[in-house]
Structure 1
Amino acid sequence: MERKYFGTDGIRGRVGEGAITPDFMLRLGYAAGMVLGKLPGEKRPGRPNILIGKDTRVSGYMFEAALEAGLINAGVDVGLLGPMPTPAIAYLTRTFHARAGIVISASHNPYQDNGIKFFSATGSKLPDQIEREIEAVLDVPMQTAKNLGKAQRIDDAAARYIEFCKAATPWGFSLEGLKIVLDCANGATYHIAPKVFRELGAEVSAIGIDPNGRNINLECGSTKPGQLRKAVLEQGADLGVAFDGDGDRVLLVDRNGELIDGDQLLFIIALHQQECLGGCKGVVGTLMSNYGFELALGERSIPFERAKVGDRYVLEKMLANGWLLGGESSGHIICADASTTGDGIVAALRVLRALSDFGEPLHQLKARMKMLPQHMVNVRLRHRDGVLEHSDVQSAVSDAELQLAQSGRVLLRPSGTEPLIRVMVEGRDRVQVEQLAKHIASVVERVGNS
């Protein structure tokens, strides 16, 4: 059975449209309770329990109540975590031995969107088969359980997660002497991240910590780091840290106001593991990871592989290889020795630990990796069938690769949501890269619109 509602990252959309309605969330809660509440292997007494957490979107209150009602009607107990980062919900699901954890969030998207993501009892994404089983129950009429579930608010959830983040650093690790600006995107880290960094000794200035339900990711956070750059420069801070709305992504800004993306952060963490912690087994990036990142790892004998875009695929390849580090250019970084999903706070602390052990400021350490110029053109087409296989397109790609002479790469990737083909070229010469990308895009456009 094909999945009708679940995508690669849960269910997401505009509030009030498609599956993102209170009625659907009520039925989803019931379906999830019926499936997850009856999974085999449960040995603990009493009813199964499922946790619900959310980011700061105003619609989260409505969907939280609907999911809660559906779960209770299925005979499942509910633990309400309130506004919490996505990785915190994964962690707390394991900590409380819950049957599952539910995240109400649309991550880095605007407040008008919302979505649902499930974590299994181990804090990992639900298997596809379980998602299909939940979808199969969505259209089954609800029946009130003979033994209704109950709900309780978990008041110490934030404190537990703060201690978890701090414990991801070595005993005695301190940020004393560092002045750090945090941008919490008016999202789920607003009451978590400032406490973590302050309790580790940093002098913290925080922005994006006044959520009103409608300002999440609004001109702030990792997708809009302009305010953070300005604050770092104005305050003379050592660096800045930007999270997205649900706290699973992070980007940094150095003291010169320059943005440090996910590839650069992954490189710093991998370099630290390789030179200070006994070695790095390997790193998983994506098809969009900068070629300079791959070259820099190769120069240091650190294995590197690419996965399809999406944290699900990154984690799958990490697990298959037995590697502990992977992520995306967007700043979604998975440190598998600490967390089962991307965790912005943990990733930022890993970078800060590297700065401490190397004794170098961020702007110097990042210079050990040279990012290559990258140019992307989005080509909108009437049809995409057969375009990538067309001889003219393949010839244009081959010619470009020949000109790059093994010092760059070409990637053509269909969009998963729009009638687009994304043409990306990387190389050492910016002008050449842009010219090659535009030429390939023109060929793709001619073939796709003929």
Structure 2
Amino acid sequence: MLFGTDGIRAKMGQAPLDAETIQRIGQLLLHTYGPGGKIVVGSDTRGSCQQLKHWLFDGFPFENILDLGVVPTPVVAFETRARGAQLGIMLTASHNPPEYNGLKFFGPQGYKLPAETAQAWSDMVENDRVPHVQNGQPELHAATPEHYEKFLLSQFAQDQFKGQTLAWDLANGAGSTWVPNWVRPLMGLQPIVGDQPNGHNINLGFGALDVAHLSRLVREKGLAGGMALDGDGDRLVVVDAQGMAIHGDRVLYGLYRAMLEEGHLVKDVVGTILTGLGLESVFRLEGVSLHRTPVGDQYVLSHMLEHGLLLGGEPSGHLIQGDLFYAGDGFLAGLRLTRAMARNPHFWAEVNERIPLLPTFEKNVEVRVKPPLSTLRLVSAAAHQLERTMGEQGRLILRYSGTEPKLRVVVESGQLSRFQGEIEALLQAIQSELGE
């Protein structure tokens, strides 16, 4: 299928991110929205974004494309809704290395495309059933994220962050030039790293997937902590005053605590199948129901919208605050958490003490194909044996990555060491039936 769990993503120049496929998508957009359809576009800092934009629009007579330039993904989503656009497009491969790129699409409400739309578009593009459209030259109009900026000003003020000195890591990505323009007026001269993009260094040694540099900076300067975004700014990883990355379950609980302190009644929180049992047990004690969805922030968002819920997220750092805006927004989450830290200097110490983390085994296994797991005899047998042995003392999660040729294996248990033999047998079965 053309669309993965988060739009289209591949190495630049390789299918489906090749010129022919992207031009078909451009044809499809023109056929769907017409020349006058309003489309909001943004991009991260990859050097290939200009080429990708050229393939997508050149040769087609679009008249109303608003180009925000380099901005985080949630800004594109917000501006799409605020400007009454039919579609938003973000050119990014998120946390992936520089040689990758991709496309994320947002509907008129600023939400990611429904699965049925993505499926229909995939069928038309992959089967070359896109209707012929008129050729012509597009009109791209430079625009600024003025609506999102006004929104930030309405939610946060300088006096809410007094006494907080944190480091920010922007992954040499989409937030590199935009975020500093907001961090410094709100919080003063904060240390910022990962803000020197050159077109080829996004996510390399900086950002949410590699916080070593940020952690060292926090320790050396004695800062209150650090906030790391990923390449397109929709994910947040938090580092405490000791330079240790705070587990994503604890960050989600931190947002829950912050919202309670601000007067919001939060009785339901949305997580995924990867959300830990420790967080679930604490929520249960506090009278909060944890709803689980498949992995992917679009599933979290869909569940939140369906049930009218205000908070959801993934351990990986996608965090959605429905009282502000229904989109994963790392910067927005970072601002709210920083404000909570300013109110309470012991905020993270209290959160860490409150939420237990059960021992967890995690491994990403390279696979050559992705057949349904239920059809794999050896894997099914080994998985069943592990689950039977653990009983109610643990759980197993097996899932294919939506963007990479990998099978993710997660085992969580308070007595994990007892099950090492069964885990190793499962890994051998996976290698036997799926390994290269």
Whether these two folds match at TM > 0.5 is yes
Q: 1:165, 1:32 → 2: CA distance?
A: 31
CA displacement, residues 261-287 of structure 1 (integer Å, 9 cap, x when unaligned): 321111011123335414213111111
Change in CA separation of 1:195 and 1:436 when aligned onto 2, cut-off 3 Å: same
Q: 2:94, 2:53 → 1: CA distance?
A: 16
Indicate the residue corresponding to 1:10 in structure 2: 7
Deviation at 1:434, TM superposition (A): 3.7
Kindly tell me the number of residue pairs found equivalent between the two proteins: 426
Indicate the residue corresponding to 1:197 in structure 2: 183
Tell which deviates more after alignment, 237-246 or 58-67.
58-67
SS of equivalent residue, structure 1 residue 266: helix
- The counterpart of 2:141, out of the listed 152, 167, 170, is 152
Counting only pairs closer than 5 Å after superposition, residues 197-216 of structure 1 correspond to structure 2 as 197-216=183-202
Q: 2:158, 2:116 → 1: CA distance?
A: 44
SS of equivalent residue, structure 2 residue 325: coil
Indicate the residue corresponding to 2:391 in structure 1: 401
Deviation at 1:381, TM superposition (A): 7.6
Change in CA separation of 1:179 and 1:133 when aligned onto 2, cut-off 3 Å: same
Tell which deviates more after alignment, 10-19 or 316-325.
316-325
Q: Which amino acid aligns with 1:445?
A: Q
Indicate the residue corresponding to 2:33 in structure 1: 36
Q: Which amino acid aligns with 1:181?
A: A
Q: Which amino acid aligns with 1:394?
A: H
Q: 2:343, 2:381 → 1: CA distance?
A: 52
Indicate the residue corresponding to 1:427 in structure 2: 413
CA displacement, residues 65-84 of structure 1 (integer Å, 9 cap, x when unaligned): 222325x43x4421111111
Counting only pairs closer than 5 Å after superposition, residues 215-254 of structure 1 correspond to structure 2 as 215-254=201-240
Indicate the residue corresponding to 1:282 in structure 2: 268
Deviation at 1:248, TM superposition (A): 0.1
Alpha carbons 2:31, 2:131 under 8 Å: kept: no
Indicate the residue corresponding to 2:76 in structure 1: 89
Change in CA separation of 1:443 and 1:227 when aligned onto 2, cut-off 3 Å: closer
Q: Which amino acid aligns with 2:389?
A: D
Deviation at 1:358, TM superposition (A): 4.0
Change in CA separation of 1:35 and 1:235 when aligned onto 2, cut-off 3 Å: same
Alpha carbons 2:73, 2:233 under 8 Å: kept: yes
Does 1:115 pair with 2:102? yes
Deviation at 1:337, TM superposition (A): 2.0
Q: Which amino acid aligns with 2:110?
A: G
Does 1:48 pair with 2:37? yes
Counting only pairs closer than 5 Å after superposition, residues 408-447 of structure 1 correspond to structure 2 as 408-416=394-402, 421-428=407-414, 432-443=415-426, 445-446=428-429
Deviation at 1:94, TM superposition (A): 1.2
Q: 2:198, 2:334 → 1: CA distance?
A: 26
Alpha carbons 1:166, 1:196 under 8 Å: kept: no
Q: Which amino acid aligns with 1:128?
A: A
Counting only pairs closer than 5 Å after superposition, residues 21-420 of structure 1 correspond to structure 2 as 21-37=18-34, 47-69=36-58, 72-73=60-61, 75-135=62-122, 137-138=124-125, 139=128, 140=130, 142-144=132-134, 150-154=139-143, 156-157=144-145, 160-169=147-156, 174-378=160-364, 384=373, 385-387=375-377, 390=380, 393-402=383-392, 404=393, 408-416=394-402
Change in CA separation of 1:109 and 1:145 when aligned onto 2, cut-off 3 Å: same
Tell which deviates more after alignment, 137-146 or 78-87.
137-146
Tell which deviates more after alignment, 80-89 or 286-295.
286-295
Change in CA separation of 1:32 and 1:352 when aligned onto 2, cut-off 3 Å: same
Alpha carbons 1:376, 1:437 under 8 Å: kept: no
SS of equivalent residue, structure 1 residue 411: strand
Change in CA separation of 1:312 and 1:441 when aligned onto 2, cut-off 3 Å: farther
CA displacement, residues 5-47 of structure 1 (integer Å, 9 cap, x when unaligned): 1122111101111121234323312211211339xxxxxxxx2
CA displacement, residues 128-173 of structure 1 (integer Å, 9 cap, x when unaligned): 3333443455434643268x6522111x32x54344334333x675
Deviation at 1:205, TM superposition (A): 0.8
Q: TM-score, normalised by structure 2?
A: 0.89
Q: 1:390, 1:276 → 2: CA distance?
A: 47
Q: 1:65, 1:380 → 2: CA distance?
A: 33
Alpha carbons 1:242, 1:250 under 8 Å: kept: yes
Q: 1:344, 1:374 → 2: CA distance?
A: 25
Alpha carbons 1:268, 1:366 under 8 Å: kept: no
SS of equivalent residue, structure 2 residue 324: coil
In the alignment, structure 1 segments of 5+ residues that lack a partner are: 39-46
Deviation at 1:396, TM superposition (A): 3.0
Q: 2:401, 2:93 → 1: CA distance?
A: 19
Q: 1:298, 1:437 → 2: CA distance?
A: 29
Q: 1:326, 1:306 → 2: CA distance?
A: 10
Alpha carbons 2:163, 2:342 under 8 Å: kept: no
Change in CA separation of 1:393 and 1:227 when aligned onto 2, cut-off 3 Å: closer
In the alignment, structure 2 segments of 5+ residues that lack a partner are: none
Q: 1:87, 1:113 → 2: CA distance?
A: 20
Q: 1:259, 1:324 → 2: CA distance?
A: 25
Q: Which amino acid aligns with 2:142?
A: R
CA displacement, residues 71-125 of structure 1 (integer Å, 9 cap, x when unaligned): x43x442111111100000001112111111110000000100001110111011
Deviation at 1:292, TM superposition (A): 1.3
Alpha carbons 2:254, 2:348 under 8 Å: kept: no
Indicate the residue corresponding to 1:42 in structure 2: none
Identity %: 34
CA displacement, residues 422-445 of structure 1 (integer Å, 9 cap, x when unaligned): 4422233xxx31441542341563
Change in CA separation of 1:13 and 1:335 when aligned onto 2, cut-off 3 Å: same
